[in-house]
Amino acid sequence: MPGYRFTQYIPPQTKEGADFDRLLQVLMQLLNITGGDVSEALNWLNNLDQRYQLTTDDYGIGDFIEDLKAKGYLKEDESAARLIMTPKSEMTIRRTAFEEIFGKLKKARPGNHKTGQSGQGDEHGTDLRSYQFGDAPEHIAVTESIRNAHINHGINDFQLLDSDLEVVETEFRAQTSTVLMIDISHSMILYGEDRITPAKKVAMALSEFIMRQYPKDTLDVIVFGNDAWQIQIKDLPYLQVGPYHTNTIAGLELAMDLLRRRKNPNKQILMITDGKPTCMKVGIKYYKNSFGIDRKILRKTLTLAVQCRKLKIPVTTFMIASDPYLQAFVREFTEANQGRAYYSNIDELGSFIFEDFQRNRRKTVR
């Protein structure tokens, strides 16, 4: 039987292409771990190649580096005579984190957040109602309205009146403003456990997820050590832990300030930390105490938790630590805020944050 059979086109992949893609995946992970230090990441890649034979005689690390520059992943920093990442690399790291953490999610329409409320929203529902003055013309159900006109006036005297019109009920799609707080105090790399890399990876995956699925939402990322400051999404791969104490107070104050500027009613704070607050600023000086839980710092932290509650801003704390006295602090903080807390390890962090982000988007704070 003559005709054509259509099948999925799978482009041929050369051996060189396969080698490049495989090495690229490894390099993206190393760049995340090294805080965007290309030289250190390539040194690690060389060490891994010597140990696990990642390359072949036909395609070596030198060939890979030349391809990275040719394809726009790396470029020369002439002022410092070194290789640096390009925006293409930064985007690739974010997408790699997204696929690793949220790769099993089902596709959804951008901004598809149901609130269970009907009204003059931006998404068509399934219910019909009579036309009311002020309804948008594009919401008129043409077929049903013409049918009503035939029934009410007959075919010979056809006319379409306001009373014949029906409109499709629409549903609201709420927006959510999220601030993600990441602890970069020194304890995030203590005791031989790297906690900052999973935190960065989750932040990049969450930002990529929001940009893909909920483009009307906002996500601000802040880091807190001795102080707190906002960073851009593109800066996440370069984030590193410093010799800092944990000034949770500064982080909460900055998060509240950012959320005050957002006009939509749905707001939340997601805080990733592995310890207790040990620092606060009094005037121009830092008040620090790393030995146990300081009552002066605790009182100020709990006061901010209550302020967030009064502003209808739930705080969800993701505690990457199992010490009982640290968990006791989180429970007290959560009770003051009436928010939520998760005691997770670094492997479960991504699923916990996604679950909580979705949960808070399903309710509208009034």
- Look up the CATH number of the domain holding residue 357: 3.40.50.410
163 confidence band (pLDDT: 50, 70, 90):
confident
Q: Is there a domain that residue 74 lies in?
A: yes
- Residue 168 and residue 180 share a domain: no
- C-alpha distance from residue 229 to each of 223, 241, 248, 253 (Å): 6, 14, 12, 10
Query: In this structure, what DSSP letter does residue 35 have?
Result: T
- C-alpha distance from residue 364 to each of 114, 116, 170, 175, 264 (Å): 10, 10, 17, 9, 10
Task: Give the pLDDT of residue 278.
Answer: 94
Question: Which distant-in-sequence residues (6+ apart) come within 8 Å of 167 by Cβ?
Answer: 128, 129, 130, 131, 132, 135, 139, 140, 141
Q: Which of 10-24, 69-83, 246-260 has the lowest mean pLDDT?
A: 10-24
> Does the pLDDT of residue 346 top 50, yes or no?
yes
Query: In this structure, what DSSP letter does residue 107 have?
Result: P
| Residue predicted with more confidence, 283 or 358 | 283
Q: Rounded distance, CA 168 to CA 353, Å?
A: 36
What's the chain's average pLDDT?
Answer: 83
- Residue 255 and residue 203 share a domain: yes
- Residue 336 and residue 273 share a domain: yes
Edge-to-edge strand ranges of the sheet holding 266-273: 228-231, 218-224, 176-183, 266-273, 315-319, 340-343
> Does the pLDDT of residue 287 top 60, yes or no?
yes
Domain that holds residue 182: 176-361
- Residue 351 and residue 312 share a domain: yes
- Residue 164 and residue 180 share a domain: no
Q: Rounded distance, CA 39 to CA 192, Å?
A: 23
Task: Give the pLDDT of residue 124.
Answer: 53
Give the best-scoring range by mean pLDDT among 89-103, 126-140, 272-286: 272-286
Task: Give the pLDDT of residue 265.
Answer: 86
178 confidence band (pLDDT: 50, 70, 90):
very high
Q: Which of 52-61, 154-163, 354-363 has the lowest mean pLDDT?
A: 354-363
Strand partners, 124: 170
> Does the pLDDT of residue 39 top 90, yes or no?
yes
Final residue belonging to a domain, choices 42, 64, 85: 85
Final residue belonging to a domain, choices 150, 173, 196: 173
Strand partners, 266: 176
> Does the pLDDT of residue 121 top 70, yes or no?
no
Residues 346-356 have a mean pLDDT of 68
pTM summary value: 0.73
| Residue predicted with more confidence, 13 or 324 | 324
260 confidence band (pLDDT: 50, 70, 90):
very high
- Residue 132 and residue 81 share a domain: no
- Residue 205 and residue 137 share a domain: no
Residues 16-29 have a mean pLDDT of 87
> Does the pLDDT of residue 282 top 80, yes or no?
yes
Q: Rounded distance, CA 15 to CA 93, Å?
A: 23
* Closest by Cα among 33, 24, 41, 34 to 89: 24
- Residue 269 and residue 219 share a domain: yes
Task: Give the pLDDT of residue 234.
Answer: 92
Query: In this structure, what DSSP letter does residue 105 have?
Result: P
Helices (H), 233-294: 248-260
Q: Rounded distance, CA 309 to CA 340, Å?
A: 12
- Residue 154 and residue 192 share a domain: no
Q: Is there a domain that residue 314 lies in?
A: yes
Task: Give the pLDDT of residue 113.
Answer: 46
34 confidence band (pLDDT: 50, 70, 90):
very high
Count of domains observed in the chain: 3
> Does the pLDDT of residue 27 top 50, yes or no?
yes
Task: Give the pLDDT of residue 288.
Answer: 95
Q: Is there a domain that residue 37 lies in?
A: yes
Task: Give the pLDDT of residue 116.
Answer: 46
